[in-house]
Amino acid sequence: MTGALERTGLDRRLWRGLIAVAALLLVTYPLFFDDLFYQNMIILSLILAIGAVGLNIIMGYAGYISLGQSAFIGLGAYTVGIASTRIGGDPFVWIPLAGVIAALFAALLGVIAMRTRGFAFVIITIAALFILQIVAINWDSLTQGTSGITVPLPTWDISIQNWPFYYTLIALLGASLLLSWWIRRTKIGTGLLAIREDEDKAATVGIDTPVYKIIGFMASAVFLGMAGGVYGYYIAFIDPIAMFDIVISVQIILAVILGGRGTLWGPVLGAATIEPLNELANQEFGGGNSRLLIFGGLLVLTILLLPKGIIPSVRDFLERRAKRGRAALVGGRLGERRALDGKPATATGGTGQNLLEVRGLHKHFEGVRALDGCSFAVEAGTITGLIGPNGSGKTTAFNLIGGTMGADAGEVWFDGERIDRLPPWRRAYAGLGRTFQITRVFTDMTVLENVVAPLRSFSWRQLRAGAVSGEEAARADDLLAFAGMAEYRDERAEALSFGQRKLVELAQVLMLDPKLILLDEPAGGINPTLIARIADMIRELNARGKTFLIVEHNMPLVLGLCDPVLVLASGECICAGAPDEIQRDPQVLDAYLGADFKLEEPVGAP
């Protein structure tokens, strides 16, 4: 999909031709020119490009910035250096091992670092880089400390120059690109993208976020580790300062940002721009700290002037020219809604069994008691309402049930299983689906991609599956038709109106085929037509066996749709009962409805 995105506007064939010509030039260059200065520059550019294509997987796709990528170069170089000098053999033989070691280290670091987000993650990756450097300096018996390891010089004929390094690196770059392309078109890729856009939301739709992130991080390391092995052999001297160099990490990040985060070719383009600048800095300004200044400055400039990077900026420009003036929003219009296929639906009402039970939930936010011993139950087969004044803890209750937040105390039981210790995706697999008060669709994905993003289980094989399989697409189309959103399937979710997003989010949750659906203010901020539509959909789904727990302020809707209704006040469930009982309960009138409450006419009553 990235590939396709990259080329919308740009003529596909022109783009492919450009890449083919560049690849051909790259491959044939050393055969025709023997200038070692440029050969060296291309070799270093290739290493940088391999690093950037790899980093793009975790940074571009998943949104996690690692400043520790040069650690993988160092690990790879030391692996090859140590193995070839201690055990023997051609250093090239050890290159695959370098990749394995780098990937294993990424997995280890991932397990620790992936508990953090944003800035904390960046810091941990820097720390890992420095820790490795310190280990390399001090573990004399293995690494020979600061005196470094001298790798035996190549034994091939001098006339071949650096070709073996050169072509190995081209092969590694090809493999990196292939991996990046493959990841992007599988479930791993959509999972990583979902994590970048909204990690908490991704977890609630069944994406096992730590596994995805660790895979992404390993993928970012494996070929860079191998390239590090080649690098160590190439410069023939491996020392802790040059091998664990943070400036190279910065250059790798810069290459990704400059070329275009999240694109396949952007990182290559970025690397091909940065490395010659690096040579210039070394030649004209004596290298060293001046490089930090140059690349730090360049980083700031890029972020200010070309925040999206070269390829996305060019793409946007071409797209804008092509569409000229076409409105960004697709308009709030709704398509025809279609009933769900399958068995005819008849409302069954409650089954007498509790699907969800919340027992004594407590959640405090620095003095605010959002939930304070909250207990209630939702009977299977019902549409249960959850009402209460603003700030009474309704959304917090949803967060604790769905697992977006952990409770301070209390238990959540779902379908006979205690779930309050489970991560959100495991709760989704168990059959729990939720929407958010402020809709949270993945705006950078298309409507269809949004709807197929949820996962109902986890398996390694599933990760390798294509991002949108035929069967899934068919199911998603059904659900979109059910929501009346079929005609928007290929629009980017960003272009949808608020109400349309609500419908997409509902279709998305239905993809999980959940037993219980938590809706947080489904009628908030949308027009009466859409409210009626959503009420119809809820009723139809309920008739097909879905249980609902609905937070809503629209009293006509709640009283027309929900039975029973739970009332929350100050973090406690103060009352539960049929709608007409609730309306007359003095406690409820006092806490929420107001003494003079009188219902005009319920909405959507059957």
22 in helix, strand or coil? helix
Tell me: does residue 385 bind ligand ADP (CB under 6 A): no
Rounded Cα distance, 399 and 249, in Å: 37
Parallel/antiparallel/unpaired status of strands 516-520 and 547-551: parallel
Residue range at the interface with Mg ion (CB under 5 A); choices 10-18, 185-193, 431-439, 463-471: 431-439
Which of Mg ion, ligand ADP, none sits in contact with 370, Cβ below 5 to 8 A by type? ligand ADP
Could you give the strand order of the β-sheet that contains 417-418, starting from the edge strand earlier in sequence?
A: 368-379, 354-365, 409-414, 417-418
Distance CA 94, CA 75 (A): 12
Are the C-beta atoms of 467 and 452 separated by less than 8 Å? Answer: yes
Q: Is 395 in the site for Mg ion (CB under 5 A)?
A: yes
3-class secondary structure, 224: helix
Q: What are the tokens at 129?
A: 């880089």
Q: Within positions 158 to 187, which residues make up the interface with ligand ADP, using CB under 6 A?
A: none
Six-digit token string for 241: 């300062």
Q: Of 546, 547, 550, which Cα lies nearest the Cα of 603?
A: 550
Applying CB under 6 A, the span of 96-104, 222-230, 315-323, 385-393 interacting with ligand ADP comes to 385-393
- From 157-165, 300-308, 313-321, 386-394, give the range in contact with ligand ADP by CB under 6 A: 386-394
The listed partner (ligand ADP, Mg ion, none) that binds 396, CB under 5 to 8 Å by sort, is: ligand ADP
In whole angstroms, how close is the CB of 48 to ligand ADP at the nearest point?
Answer: 41
Stretch that binds Mg ion, among 83-91, 190-198, 429-437, 452-460 (CB under 5 A): 429-437
Strands (E), 83-184: 149-150
Number of residues that bind ligand ADP (CB under 6 A): 11
Partner in contact with 301, chosen from ligand ADP, Mg ion, none, beta carbon below 5 to 8 Å by kind: none
- Which amino acid belongs to residue 81? G
Cβ atoms 152, 91 nearer than 8 A = yes
Distance CA 533, CA 153 (A): 74
Return the H-helix or E-strand segment holding 411: strand 409-414
Member of 392, 404, 450, 508 binding ligand ADP (CB under 6 A): 392
Q: Please pick, from the candidates 60, 381, 393, 484, the single residue that binds ligand ADP as defined by CB under 6 A.
A: 393
Name residue 98's amino acid.
A
- One residue of 196, 261, 315, 394 binding ligand ADP per CB under 6 A: 394
Residue found by looking up tokens 């168990």 in the block = 430
Q: Write the CA distances from 416 to 350, 356, 357, 413, integer angstroms.
A: 17, 8, 9, 6
Among residues 152, 286, 297, 391, which is the contact residue for ligand ADP, using CB under 6 A? 391
Q: How far is the CB of 570 from ligand ADP (least distance, A)?
A: 9
Largest CA distance in the chain: 96
Give the nearest distance from C-beta 17 to ligand ADP in angstroms.
52
Binding mask 447-476 for Mg ion (x = CB under 5 A): ------------------------------
| Bridge partner residues of 414 (DSSP) | 356, 417
Residue 144 or 395 having the CB closest to ligand ADP: 395
Rounded distance between C-alpha atoms, residue 468 and residue 458, angstroms: 16
Q: Does 293 participate in binding ligand ADP (rule CB under 6 A)?
A: no
> Could you tell me which stretch among 217-225, 319-327, 388-396, 453-461 binds ligand ADP (CB under 6 A)?
388-396
Provide the token pair at 174. 């090809």
CB of 347 to ligand ADP, least distance (A): 28
> Could you tell me which residues come within 8 angstroms of residue 104 by beta carbon, excluding any fewer than 6 positions away?
none
Interaction residues for ligand ADP, span 216-255 (CB under 6 A) = none
Q: Pick one of ligand ADP, Mg ion, none as the site partner of residue 392 (Cβ within 5 to 8 A by kind).
A: ligand ADP
Q: How far is CA 514 from the centre of its chain?
A: 22
- Per-residue x/- track, 189-218, ligand ADP (CB under 6 A): ------------------------------
Nearest distance, CB of residue 438 and ligand ADP, angstroms: 11
Q: Which does 206 bind (CB under 5 to 8 A by kind): Mg ion, ligand ADP, none?
A: none
Cis peptide before 564 (omega within 30 of 0): yes
Tell whether residue 435 is a contact of Mg ion (CB under 5 A): no
Tell whether residue 438 is a contact of ligand ADP (CB under 6 A).
no
Q: Are 118 and 62 in contact (CB under 8 A)?
A: no
Candidates 53-61, 211-219, 275-283, 390-398: pick the segment binding ligand ADP (CB under 6 A): 390-398
- What 3-state DSSP class applies to 71? helix
Contacts of 11 (CB under 8 A, 6+ apart): none
Helix, strand, coil share of the chain (percent; to 5): 60, 10, 30
139 binds, among Mg ion, ligand ADP, none (CB under 5 to 8 A by kind): none
Q: 348 to 377, contacts with ligand ADP by CB under 6 A?
A: 365, 368, 370
Nearer Cβ to ligand ADP (395/446): 395
What does 391 interact with, of ligand ADP, Mg ion, none (CB < 5 to 8 A by kind)? ligand ADP
Given a contact cutoff of 8 angstroms between Cβ atoms, the answer to whether 132 and 102 are in contact is no
Q: Which stretch binds Mg ion (CB under 5 A): 313-321, 349-357, 389-397, 473-481?
A: 389-397
The Cα 156–Cα 175 span in angstroms is 25
Nearest distance, CB of residue 370 and Mg ion, angstroms: 10
Q: Within 13 Å and on the Cβ side, how many CA atoms surround 355?
A: 23
Both structure tokens of 529: 């037509």
Give the one entry of ligand ADP, Mg ion, none that residue 291 binds, where binding means its C-beta sits below a cut-off of 5 to 8 angstroms depending on kind: none
Binding of residue 395 to ligand ADP (CB under 6 A): yes
For the record, the structure tokens of 60 come out as 């571009």
Q: Which stretch binds ligand ADP (CB under 6 A): 190-198, 387-395, 446-454, 495-503?
A: 387-395
Nearer to ligand ADP, 504 or 567 (CB): 567
- Interacting residues toward ligand ADP by CB under 6 A: 365, 368, 370, 388, 390-396
User: Where do contacts with Mg ion occur on this chain (CB under 5 A)?
Assistant: 394-395, 437
